[in-house]
Amino acid sequence: MAVETELKLRVPTRHFKALASGRMAGGKIGPRSENDLVSTYFDTRKCKLKRHGLTLRVRDDGDRHVQTVKSANGAQFGRGEWEAEIKNGAPNLGKAQGTPLEPFASGKLRRKLKPVFETSVHRITLPLRTRKSEIELAIDRGRIVAGQHSSPVEELELELKNGLLVDLFRVARSIERKSQAELDLRSKSDRGYALARGEEHPVLSAASIALNADLNAGDAFRTIGRATIRHFSGNADAVRNGDPEGIHQMRVGLRRLRAAISLFSKVLSGASTDRIKQELKWLTNELAPARELDVFVTENIEPATRDVLLRRGGKAIKKEFCARRERAFARAKEAVNTQHYRSLLVDTLQWIEADQTIATEDAKTPIRKFAGRLLHRRIKKLRKQGRHLDEMSAQERHKLRIRAKKIRYAIEFFESLFQSRSERKQVAALSRHLKKIQNAFGSLNDFVAHRDMAVDAALKARAPRHEGRARALASGVVLGREDQAVKPLVKVAEKEVRGLEAI
């Protein structure tokens, strides 16, 4: 087995020629080679291999057929890769021995395998010698085709053949700055499967995280960190397309990574951690107005426009806030099109992988022990603080909501560590209570933001007098409806916090 240690970047078309010369990479460039590669990816109709984190590919380079099995490897940076030469373009499961595909390699699977999508690229390969490292640059240009759907491939892969990880990131950063290339943590297979579903720019939700109980806390953080950066960066195209759910999921991915940094604070060291936290907060803040305004318009303003008595005022404030929402969407799109964002991706991934990021004694703690202690301590504190919900201010409830959210994320991160029936039952109960607490607090937090926006709409100075009265009426009804929901939501949160006492 080989482990690919590689970075992939999407490259603007106008910079392909310069990249192919190697001028943007720095270092000493070796002999250039070129190949036309056609790769077919196989799976069952229900995508059994993908569901188990596997890909099966047969590549035709014009001279031979090579079958490749790939498996994501959470404990290391890179992916496991097993190659075998085969006679033709049909998969040979007899060559799957010693690979993660072997347990599935039955006659039944062989009969169910079918081509899912195909990639056809012209590849330029350049060996690069830089400092103490050898890196291979593979520049691909072509297409992914899945049935009637297709999408262009314009990307650069940097694979560390020998040497230091820091050199790999240094080259990636140099190329990013000179060519506006963007780190892309999606593989060609990720894109191909999405295209087969008819989704060229899919919205990416959080993937489940499988932690091996043999991992220490430091390695577990890296596994979680990689999953969260894939989550938020995988929604960049959806944000560029103005997809509200894409904006939401990018924010969720950012919150999950920021929560992981908080949960593993005793494991992390180095001044760079504070810098990464600030960068993640910057991007979160750039996305926040778009999400807040979309929720406000969808859940509050639009219902007001359907009320006969509020129709005129409702339409007036809807027009106003739809315009604000469009500007906020444009701001989110602009953020992910900046060099600031592109640098954030490279810097964050390098920080996750750097040895100096995780260099404390706590990092050596077995992850199951670390997780048990962390959950016990945080749940105990939440129970204690949650006994006084009715006395809390909006700001205090907001802080408690964040604590509950971090615990819920922690449970999602650590869920695979708890395998016994009683443990899984306890984890499921915790998740149910925390979800209801988070939802109640989330609505209460939205009310505060919505109050400010509704008051702003009611007091809009430039509105004509008759429209101003209608705006004020509609805004007052929006606020009144939310005020009526506050006490019931507090009661829900109190009930769910009490439910934690029984677990």
Q: At which residue do the structure tokens 């191909």 appear?
A: 192
Taking each continuous run of H as one helix and of E as one strand, the counts in the chain are 16, 11
- Rounded Cα distance between 293 and 321, Å, is 7
pLDDT classification of 274: cutoffs 50, 70, 90: very high
Domain ranges of the chain: 2-200, 272-501
Q: Which of 358, 348, 356, 374 is nearest to 221 (CA)?
A: 358
Using a cut of 0.75, tell me whether the model's pTM lies above it. yes
Give the CATH number of domain 2-200; options: 2.40.320.10, 3.40.50.10470, 2.30.38.10, 1.10.10.10.
2.40.320.10
pLDDT at 16: 83
> What is the SS3 assignment for 467?
helix
Work out whether the CA dihedral 342, 343, 346, 348 comes out positive or negative. Answer: negative
Q: Contact 72/53 with Cβ under 8 angstroms? A: yes
- Rounded Cα distance between 325 and 170, Å, is 38
CATH topology of domain 272-501: CHAD domain (1.40.20)
- Rounded Cα distance between 277 and 366, Å, is 25
What separation in angstroms does the CA of 347 have from each of 70, 229, 354, 407? 26, 11, 10, 27
pLDDT 10s digits, 45-71: 999 999 998 999 999 988 899 999 998
% of the chain at pLDDT higher than 70: 84
pLDDT classification of 470: cutoffs 50, 70, 90: very low
Q: Which of 76, 442, 492, 74 is nearest to 255 (CA)?
A: 442
Length of the chain: 503
pLDDT 10s digits, 400-419: 888 888 999 999 999 999 98
Mean pLDDT of 335-353: 97
